Structures are given as C-alpha cells and as structure tokens.
Amino acid sequence: MSPKLKFPLSGVLLLVLLVPILAACGGGTASAPVVETVVVTAEPEVVVVTATPSEATDSTTTPPTDEPVGQWRTPHPILSKLEVRQAIAHCTDRRALIESVYPFLEDDQKDALLMNTFLPQGHWALAPDDKITIYEFDPEKGKALLEEAGWKQEEGSSVRTNEAGEPLTLKFTTTNAAFRQTWAAVLEQQLLENCGIQIIRTHAPGSWWFGSTTGLQRRDFELGAFAWVGQADPGGTTLYACNQIPLPDNNWEGQNYMGWCNETASRAVIAANNTLEREKRIEQYHILQREFTADMVSLPLFNRFEAAAASNDLVNFRPNPTTDSILVNVDEWELADGGDTVVLGFTQEPASLWLVVEDAAVANSASGLLKVRAVTSFDYDYQPAALKELPTIENGGTVLTLVEVSAGDTVWSVDGEAVELAEGVEVINADGEIVAYDGSPITLNQLAVTFEFPPMKWEDGEPLKAADYELAYNIDCNEESGAISLTVCKSIADVEFRDNGYTITYLPGAQWAEYFAYTLGTYSNLFTVGAYPSHQVLADGRKLADVPASEWSTLPEIAERPLSYGPYRLVEWQKGQRMVFEANPNYYKGEVAIKTLIIEFFDDTNQAVAQLLTGNVDVLGSETLGAGPELETVLAAAEAGQIQAFPLASPTWEHMDMNLFIR
C-alpha cells in the first residue's frame, strides 16, 4: 500500500523562488548521448540572435532586417511559428505527466504541482490568471492552430505534414534519468495521438546535456527538457534577457537557451532585478510573465515532488527545498551510534569541481564540502553563515550613495549592461524612473557592500588573505574562464580587498535585490565566501595566481583536487566509483564530528535506494532520489521505521524549451 503523505503541497509551495541552476535529476556519466528511439539525422546545433517581440503581427519569428539570414540566424522551420508552439502547449496534458511519475500523490497534491508560468502557485510575484495566457489541455484548439500554421493531417496518417509533404517531426532531448524517460514517453504518446505531432526522443547523460561545451550550453536541441532549481529570489535575467542568448561570438554566455528576444520582456526582467522595492519588482515580473506565456517559448510542466533520506542514526540532517545542497550544514552532522563515517549515494558523477564551468547539482554538493558558505537560504529566506550578519543598508553593512553622472561615465543601463553614458542611453535614476540621457547630469543610486569574514585557513594551514579573494574575482569574472554568465561581474565598478573580506562597489544604477548575499563566491557557487589559494604551487611549478583564466578548467588542482578551506578536504577520487573526503583540521569552526565522508557513485537510483535500505549507504539527497518510483519505496520504508525520509515540495520545476532558430 502506498504511504499517504502527511503534508499539503499547496501550503508548502507558497514562497518557492527561482534562480538559474540546472537540475541534473540523475543519469549516467558516459560522454555520448543515449538514444531512446532511432534518430535518422544528427541533432543540429541551434542558436539565435534575436526574435520578434510578441506584439508583432506576423507570428513567424524572424531575424532583424539589418542582419542577413544565415548561420545562427535562420528561423526554425517549425518552431518559429507561434501557432505551432501554442499548439504543442494545448496538446500536452500536464496533469497526466504528473500522474505518470507521482501516482501515489493525492489529487489535490498533484494539482498543486501544476504551473502556468515560470513561477509556481502561490508565489509572491505570480501574475494573476487574467494577465497571462493559460494553455489548458485542449487538443481541438491545438489541432486548429496547426491547421492555421499549414500542418494538415491526412486521413489514415498519424503524423501531420505540410504542403511539401514534410512530416511534423521534432527532436526532443533530455537526460537519461528514469524519471524523465517515464514522463517523456507519455508526452510522446500525447502529442502524436492528440494532435499528430511526432517527437523523436534522445535521452542523454547529464554530463553531456549540462556540459559547458555541449548540449544546452551549445543550444544543441529543438525541444529540450530539463529543470530549473528555485532558490530565494525569482531572478531570471540570465534566462530571459535578450543579451543572455548563448552565441559563438559571446563565448556562449547566458542561459536563454530558447533564443527568445522579446524586448518588452527583456526590459521587464532587467528592471525587476534592478530595484530594491518589491512592489515595483512585482509589476515588472507580471509584464515578463505576460510576454513569456503569450510567446510560448518554454512550456512549464510541473513542480517536482522530491525527498531526501538518511539512516536513522544520522543526527542534524536538515534537507530543505531552498538550499542548494543537502550538505549545506554538513559540519553539524553526527551519528547517534558514535560512528565517524558517512556514505552518500550519487547517481551522477561531477564532471569537474570547478563550478565556473560545471553547474550540475552533484558538482555543487561535492565542491561545497571544500568551501565556506557566507550565507544560507533555508526556508525561502537568507541567514548569515560565516558572516556575523547580512550586510544591509539598514545595519550599515551596505552604503547607498546618490551619485551624479554625466557623459562619458560608466553606468549600468536599463538593459542590464555596463555602458558609457551618452545621449539616448536609458538608465534607472535615483527615483526609480527610466530616463534617457539628454546631456544633463542624472542622479543614480550606487551600492557599496562590505563582507567581513572570520579568520580562516586553507587545508595546508596558510591563512586566507586579500590576494585569495582578489584571485577569485579576477578569475571568476574573467571572460576567458568559460563562465556561463558574467552579468553580475560586469555590474561591479570596484572591489576593495582585505585579509578579512572585501567591499564590492557596483556601477551607478546597478541595484541587485539580493546585494547582501552576492559574495564573490556567488558567481561560481551559491553564496560561498569566494577565494582561491593564491599561494598554491602547481605540479608544473607555476603558482596558481600566475595561470591564465583560460587554463583553469583543465588544471587538476582546480577541477579534480582543489585546495579546501571548508569542513572537508578531498583525499581520493576514484573516477566512476567514489570520492573520499576527510575532516579538515584547519576548518575555522573546528574539526567536524564526521571524520570521513564518502560519495559512492551508482548506476541508477534503484541501486542507490537498495544500498540505503541495506545500510551500506547513509544518505540519499533529492538530486539522487530524483522524482521517480523509488520515491514511493523510500517513503514506505520511512513509514515502516527503517530509515528517516524528508518529503520536499520542491522548488525545482520541469519544463520544455523550444529553440526558435537553427544554425
């Protein structure tokens, strides 16, 4: 009998928030995609420069008239049509997708997982229904839209064709996690049977799909499914702004994988992230959601239901839906039986521990063991960790200054870019108004945020110092590093480094709503202090501080064996098998109770769960349990008292992006 869950999801989801962190949801570690069904042609690389705003009268997305149609600028022959994208939405029964992976949930709990925009039900910035386009499951409406777009279904044919006789076939790419294979199979059947749309599924390993030079980051898909992981603010700039479309000529920076450039939406998301007033942010997020749903470039499917599990002996295990890892408080863990070794199970192996180029959840968890968190984000709010207090304007940790700027000054524009002030440049002035510079001086807000940390040491006993913080800034904010996004970096005017921290001064006009949490470590790992060992001598004899940023991703001392200043140090990494961490005797809080922490890699979630139930594994996080049928097994075992389980109404949400252009 399936265990009945003891909490209402709708009540837990009230404040789920969003930042762009990729959720791997399990998967293997092979380097090549795993094909679920036969693919006749290779998956094209798909990229876009710009697209028509949703107000345009022509529903075909076209490149700007001053740009030639060609490489990276060719509208996708199918997905560039708005009617087709809207038809896909109407032909998808999202409730049935939820049922396929969560049959053990109550009906109201399944309903609570449904999403109409990129924000979940109950979110403070969620637009009301009358301000967005809602795509109810309506195959008849979907069929009519396809007919309008020129896709006809001949009698006796299961797949629609156009006038040229070409089939309505799209390649669908996602991870090889069993969870996604389950709901994707249902989606495939729905689209074909409901509306005559054929999708060819490719289930790739997370290491390829989320790699820095493959899969999503290279826009190598037509329909692409994955999850964004929510944290403590809606964010969205790197996902939806026009200047965040990954392209060869911007070094593939950004996470706007759809290639969606709607100027109204772009300005709204930038404005929402450039004010400290919530009411103004809500107004801009409503505009963004209106455009997002009208253009239907990404179909929100559902929030995931997740759980973490641990042996009954583990004390102080504190999984939380809005922290980036179950290991966030690992320095507080203990074993009730007096043991000193804990084994975690992962079904995906990190490709690298350098999070500038690797953003899978498992890499974030493993790398976090070697770092110190400045800030935590339990329960949809922020708490100081290494910081004594969050540096706010109210407590004096942040200084807000009014500065007068004039022609030639570098400012942060309304488009979210560092620009030289000249006539016509639009900025947000000190009164929160969008104004165009006309030659007269303008007063803007300027933030200076001071982060102060306690004395800390590297695992080799060397104290953290100003040069270590400076090195983190110079590398993580370097265009040659391969960073996914440098938006926040580019908004910085200056950083003053000290041995106990640093002061970040932003460009006039840059108003990040989470300024008090944006440490230097935020650019490569959520809310960590942000430091690299400038004194470290590499195997080739060079000092780490002298190595160009372009080489860092291939340095073993960075990707595979980084020096620790966190609670643990990495002592062994047997690729494909395990990672072994030992307590760092120089950890600033003192040596931790769990002396050895081992991450074991398993081929699949079912194997990992079996090892948990037999006592060979102590902890499985939500990134390992995923959202498949193994969840029911774990919850039933917890009901029987075999283990402890923590159901989580996850801020992670599944969606399907639609790539608007082809190479």
pLDDT at residue 495, rounded to an integer = 98
Return the pLDDT at 3: 35
pLDDT number for residue 230: 65
**CB atoms near residue 335 (< 10 Å):** 16
In order, the DSSP letters of 395-442 are TTSEEEEEEEE-TT-EEE-TTS-EEE--TT-EEE-TTS-EEE--SS-E
Tokens of 122: 């109950």
pLDDT above 70 (res 37)? no
Highest mean pLDDT pick, 226-230, 241-245, 501-505:
501-505
Tokens of 310: 């641990």
Which segment of 76-85, 97-106, 463-472, 625-634 scores lowest on mean pLDDT? 625-634
pLDDT score for 232: 62
Q: What is the number of H-type helices and E-type strands within the chain?
A: 17, 26
What does the pLDDT average to over 93-118?
92
CB 412 within 8 A of CB 508: yes
Q: From the CA atom positions of the chain, what is the Rg in Å? A: 25
What residues contact residue 306 under an 8 Å CB cut-off, 6+ apart? 321, 622, 625, 626, 627, 631, 647, 648, 650, 652
Least confident range from 122-136, 347-361, 600-614: namely 347-361
Q: What percent of the chain stands above pLDDT 70?
A: 88
pLDDT tens by residue, 49-92? 222 222 222 333 333 333 334 456 789 999 999 999 999 999 99
Is it the case that residue 7 has pLDDT exceeding 70?
Answer: no
Q: If we measure between CA atoms, which residue out of 339, 239, 341 comes closest to residue 18?
A: 239
- The SS3 call for residue 15 is helix
Alpha-carbon gap, residue 179 to 176, rounded angstroms: 8
Which ranges of 248-322 would DSSP assign to H, the alpha helix? 263-272, 278-295
Listing DSSP states for 201-244 in one string gives: EEEE-HHHHT-SSSGGGGT--SEEEEEE---SS---HHHH-GGG
| pLDDT for res 347 | 93
The model's confidence at residue 32, banded by pLDDT at 50, 70 and 90, is: very low
pLDDT per residue as tens digits for the range 272-310: 988 888 898 999 999 999 999 999 999 999 988 888 999
Asked whether residue 23 carries a pLDDT value surpassing 60, the answer given is: no
Mean pLDDT confidence for 125-151: 97
Percentage of the chain beyond pLDDT 90 is 70
pLDDT above 90 (res 251): no
What separation, in Å, do the N-terminal and C-terminal C-alpha atoms of the chain show?
A: 51
Domains and CATH numbers, the chain: 17-304+653-662 (3.10.105.10)
Say what the pLDDT of residue 72 is. Answer: 61
Predicted confidence (pLDDT) at residue 46 exceeds the cutoff of 50: no
For residues 374-399, average pLDDT = 92
Of 26-30, 31-35, 140-144, 238-242, highest mean pLDDT: 140-144
Mean pLDDT of 102-129: 89
DSSP state, 510? -
Q: Cβ–Cβ contacts within 10 Å for residue 653, how many?
A: 22
pLDDT at 117 > cutoff 60: yes
Q: How far, in Å, are 146, 235, 271, 275, 510 from residue 513 at the CA level?
A: 42, 9, 11, 6, 10
For residue 627, pLDDT beyond 70: no
* Spatial distance between the Cα atoms of 242 and 426, rounded to a whole number of angstroms: 16
Position 69 scores a pLDDT of 42
Pull the structure tokens for residue 634. Answer: 């774990």
Question: Closest Cα partner for 295 from 254, 333, 264?
Answer: 264
Average pLDDT score, the chain = 87
CB 344 within 8 A of CB 599: yes
Q: Residue with structure tokens 């940790």?
A: 397
Q: How far apart are CA 433 and CA 431, in angstroms?
A: 6
- Going by C-beta distance under 8 Å and a sequence separation of 6 or more, which residues neighbour residue 493? 410, 446, 505, 506, 507, 508
- Top pLDDT among 180 and 22 is at 180
Q: What is the mean pLDDT of residues 623-629?
A: 78
pLDDT of 216 over the 80 cut: yes
Give the pLDDT of residue 153: 95
What mean pLDDT is predicted for residues 201-216?
92
**Mean pLDDT (whole number) for 524-539:** 91
Structure tokens at 277: 């007033």
